[in-house]
Chains A and B, each alone.
Chain A
């Protein structure tokens, strides 16, 4: 009997000694949780990289102010490790590897956009590090069979489908669509998605051309669009392309019942740079400051998020910034749910997460891409983007006519 008791005691001591060391060596020492983020902080994509950084930083500030992330009975402060990949995708992949193996980050946030996210996702998969992508929407990123990659943007079709429904329903005489797309992973993919959405509804695609990255002049393409007389002009690219396209449309006297541009009008810089020409331009994005959600995350509500963002950066947040903050919020919810920093358990917690956050409802599909968001459609009215869909958060109706 006595021997049994001694053995039992010994076992208890051993077990209790083992258990706390399980989460890993970094944990107990400084009580900090490190998240790595390769970002394009310089180079042509730097405006986007800086947006993502602002989103992450706001989340980190809020979490640490609240005492850190709760892991079991402990609290961990969050520390971001940024590496600049200079808008050069191969470098993003190298830096993802460096962040994991040299900087020993516990978790990773993906680089900017679908292309670089896809490229870097192989690295985090190899090391089994849960990774959340803030700005990747193309399905090709998620259908690689990876287990550790999660993303906060729904597939591209979720942007073009509601848009096509609204236009078709509201604008009776819309028959012809012209599409001008930047020859780049996301802008081209969304252009092709638009072509499908248009054809599905019996609209004729009278013009579909790609333009090269770094194009300084769109006059020829716009002249051809003018000759094709479409009622709906759909242009894709990044904000600098779209500012130029909008300006040259005006220069060449092109107008249409509906003009849609993705992705640019969500940024306040678009309306500032195009002035009155921005009026009635429609767009869609995965988030908009006018949506209203409430959740258990550090921000609590969308209103509160907007307010905090405004206080820190003196501006209204756009969908890239909010999505970056949402990555943090989602990671935090998963870690707290798992009660550990063990990468495999956090991965499982992410896969089974079902929560509402300031960003919207969060549920990931089998590929890791979010399935629960309903991306808002909006239009610039009176110099500001106002939501015209979904109905629950609608601020105004679609206005027709872009001059």
Chain B
């Protein structure tokens, strides 16, 4: 029983991180119809911001979420207005190739700037582990998960309650109609892409506590984001949370039952099955896919 609870806890904590990784990716894909290959590298860049902020200035990674988010927003906004907006109306393959190329550039820039070494933040006062009757919960992961869910919730609030958020949702629903209502669509695109980057940067600073950081780690995160989005349903914040938690729990249990070697195989097989049965994802709505 303890083993079962421990594996469930492992899965939920991991799933929280997955949700955080995927939220921004899902937003950009849903609103802009752009598959942002840069997303993984944005996360890594956020992790580096947090790493250097901690090493040089002693800023706790939970605080540098704001810093990393800010840096990434500026980068994302400028990339969208300067580059991606020029082809945003083109078929999805064009924007995919564009972000793929930008990703190669960013990867190699980070290799030159940060070197290929693996780094990790080691807190001077680690949060430690709490033992709930044999079920161990690492507090840094729990806190990161809580913050991740808070951020994702914040995004949900922004989309539903703020003026700019409503404009984003309007553009997602019908670009032409939004344009006729006086929404500045290119600017909304840039804000959306910027917000996606904020989520990536914030996720990166939380992950810097947990995973080793290296310039090319982005592809792993990107793969997870992709699966989470398809699993949960595209373009919605709840989809990212549900998909993330589902993936985390499924991976944990399949590692237990089939061995860690097959954890990824099982989760991808489930994904394919879900696509056959429910192509919109667990909580996705038809029309947004």
Contacts and interface: CB of A to CB of B under 8 A. Distances in A.
A binds B: yes
Interface stretch (B59-67, B114-122, B198-206): B114-122
B131 A42 contact: no
Q: A43, A220, A251, A276 — which one has the most chain B CB atoms within 10 A of its CB?
A: A220
Interface stretch (A64-72, A204-212, A337-345, A352-360): A204-212
- Give the dominant DSSP class at B's interface: helix
B256 A220 contact: yes
A272 interface: yes
B212 A273 contact: yes
A221 B7 CA distance: 10
B251 interface: yes
A253 B131 contact: yes
Contacts of A243: 118, 120, 212
B80 interface: no
A237 to B, nearest CB: 11
A282 B252 CA distance: 28
B260 A239 contact: no
B97 to A, nearest CB: 18
Contacts of B122: 273-276
Contacts of A210: 259-261
B3 interface: yes
B104 to A, nearest CB: 9
B3 A227 contact: yes
Interface in B210-265: 210-212, 214, 216-217, 220, 223-224, 248, 251-253, 255-256, 259-265
A213 B161 CA distance: 43
Interface string A242-260: 0110011011110000000
Contacts of B68: none
B177 interface: no
Contacts of B256: 220, 223-224
Given A244-B211, A247-B210, A273-B118, A214 B220 contact: yes
B111 interface: yes
B162 interface: no
Nearest to A222: B10
B263 A220 contact: yes
Contacts of A250: 129, 138
A215 B255 CA distance: 11
A158 to B, nearest CB: 26
B156 interface: no
Nearest to A43: B216
A180 B259 CA distance: 11
Contacts of A248: 138
B108 interface: yes
A251 B261 CA distance: 21
Interface string B11-29: 1011000000000000000
A50 interface: yes
Given A183-B261, A210-B260, A253-B136, A220 B210 contact: no
A382 interface: no
B212 A240 contact: yes
B6 interface: yes
B39 interface: no
Nearest to A239: B118
Contacts of A209: 259-261
Contacts of B3: 223-224, 227
Contact of A42 (B108, B129, B253): B108
A216 interface: yes
B141 interface: yes
A217 B252 CA distance: 8
Given A43-B216, A220-B252, A273-B119, A215 B7 contact: no
A44 interface: yes
A219 interface: yes
B111 A46 contact: yes
Given A209-B261, A275-B122, A251 B129 contact: yes
Nearest to A214: B220
A43 B224 CA distance: 19
B129 A253 contact: yes
A251 B136 contact: yes
B280 to A, nearest CB: 26
A384 interface: no
A269 B261 contact: no
Given A43-B216, A46-B111, A216 B138 contact: no
Interface in A30-87: 42-44, 46-47, 50
A251 B111 CA distance: 30
B214 A217 contact: no
Nearest to A44: B216
Contact of A212 (B10, B108, B224, B261): B261
Contacts of B212: 239-240, 243-244, 273
Contacts of A252: 6, 10, 129, 136, 138
B117 A269 contact: yes
Interface string A187-211: 0000000000000000000000111
A247 B120 contact: yes
Interface of A: 42-44, 46-47, 50, 180, 183, 209-212, 214-221, 223-224, 227, 239-240, 243-244, 247-248, 250-253, 269, 272-276
Given A219-B14, A239-B212, A275-B122, 18 more contacts: A46-B116, A46-B216, A209-B260, A211-B261, A212-B263, A215-B264, A216-B211, A216-B224, A217-B248, A219-B10, A219-B11, A219-B255, A221-B260, A240-B217, A252-B10, A269-B119, A273-B120, A274-B122
Closest 5 CB pairs of A and B: A251-B138, A220-B255, A275-B122, A219-B10, A273-B120
Interface of B: 3, 6-7, 10-11, 13-14, 107-108, 111, 115-120, 122, 129, 131, 136, 138, 140-141, 210-212, 214, 216-217, 220, 223-224, 248, 251-253, 255-256, 259-265
10 contacts: A212-B260, A214-B223, A215-B264, A217-B248, A220-B251, A223-B7, A243-B212, A247-B210, A253-B131, A273-B212
